[in-house]
Amino acid sequence: MHRKGAQNRLLVLGSIAYDCIETPVASEDYILGGSASYAGLAASFFAPVDLVGAVGNDFKQSDIDRLKAHGIGLDNVVRFGEKPSFFWRGKYFDDFNTRETIDVRMNCYEDYAGATLNDSARSSKYALLGNISTQIQAGVFGQLNDPSFVMLDTMDLWIRNSNECLRELVGKVDVLVLNDSEARLFADTSNLICAGDRIIEMGAKSAIIKTGEYGAMLFHEDGFFTLPAYPVRALHDPTGAGDTFAGALAGYVASKDSSDFETLKMAMVYGAAAASIAVESFSCYKLEETGMAEIRRRADYIMKITKI
């Protein structure tokens, strides 16, 4: 299951950023963040990854080396020489669920309209279109030759501002993943079960609704599945938890070369395990430090506590 034995490469699109984060327990400045960074690092434990995104003139060589050390290909990452990288500064309050964005700067992403994929990336059979502009997601999707599995992540900003484009793209992908508030907004209902059903009616083959500390739900033509979260007792920074979940999930699917109902259920287990590790540190430090052995241990525990 580890990436060294995997044959299918996974394309991961998203933002690559620097974050300054304050939580109730600590703070950290200018650490590697962004949807593609979290998702790519998590996926790399299961399958080799090709990252698609942009960085600025301040992107550190140490972070390039950090990504490459996990077998992550950067040939489809555009470097802008005259602007810095995407930047986000945020603060979490005592419940870790309430978050305030203090500063956000698009920087190089103001000029990034999406990548022209190289031949290797175009031939990717597995792809995660991580959280970024829906137009950029659609542009990258349109360059894929004949993908076997494409997962789409989004957020409330794109649901509000790019709804028509998003709905069109949802009908083309295999899985739409979003959190509970986003699902309610997108499906225009307060009932999450009805929201999942409506997303399937929109044309998505399956939908995964994340419910934070309560886990996630899978809506699929072959059935419904719900999964609890791993019980985290040392919450440090929830930034990137959803991206980590999506990355590990997509990486697992690529490693199995299958995306049927049973595979997706198991992929959610590994996604939840990886996400639970990521929130115990800033950036992906804990996930990188503990690696696949701890992901497996937590996945086994999740499977244990779901048995009756």
SS3 248: helix
Is pLDDT above 80 for 2? no
pLDDT at 97: 85
Report the C-alpha gap between 269 and 256 in whole angstroms. 14
Q: What is the mean pLDDT of residues 207-224?
A: 96
Q: Which of 36, 13, 20 is nearest to 240 (CA)?
A: 36
Report the C-alpha gap between 147 and 138 in whole angstroms. 14
| Residue that is written with structure tokens 């929201």 in the block | 195
Task: Establish how many alpha carbons lie within 13 A of residue 26's alpha carbon, considering only the half-sphere containing its beta carbon.
Answer: 12
CATH 3.40.1190.20 fits domain 3-305:
yes
Q: What is the mean pLDDT of residues 140-169?
A: 96
Is pLDDT above 80 for 96? yes
pLDDT at 262: 97
- In the chain, the DSSP E strands lie at 10-13, 17-22, 27-33, 49-55, 72-79, 86-92, 99-105, 126-129, 149-153, 175-179, 206-210, 216-220, 223-227
Please report which confidence band the pLDDT of residue 1 belongs to, taking 50, 70 and 90 as the band edges: very low
Q: What is the mean pLDDT of residues 274-291?
A: 95
Please report which confidence band the pLDDT of residue 234 belongs to, taking 50, 70 and 90 as the band edges: very high
Q: What percent of the chain is predicted at pLDDT more than 70?
A: 98
Is pLDDT above 90 for 48? yes
- Structural domain boundaries of the chain? 3-305
pLDDT at 83: 97
SS3 105: strand
First to last CA, the chain: 27
- Which helix (H) or strand (E) segment is 170 a member of? helix 163-170
Is pLDDT above 70 for 114? yes
DSSP assignment string, 15-69? --EEEEEE-SS-EEEEEEESHHHHHHHHHTTTS-EEEEEEE-TT--HHHHHHHHT
Cα 181 to chain centroid, rounded: 17
Length of the chain counted residue by residue:
308
Is pLDDT above 50 for 137? yes
pTM score of the predicted model: 0.95
Look at the alpha carbons of 296, 9, 124, 106 in this order and tell me if their dihedral is positive or negative. Answer: positive
Please report which confidence band the pLDDT of residue 7 belongs to, taking 50, 70 and 90 as the band edges: confident
Is pLDDT above 70 for 206? yes
Q: What is the mean pLDDT of residues 129-141?
A: 96
Give the tokens for residue 64. 């390039």
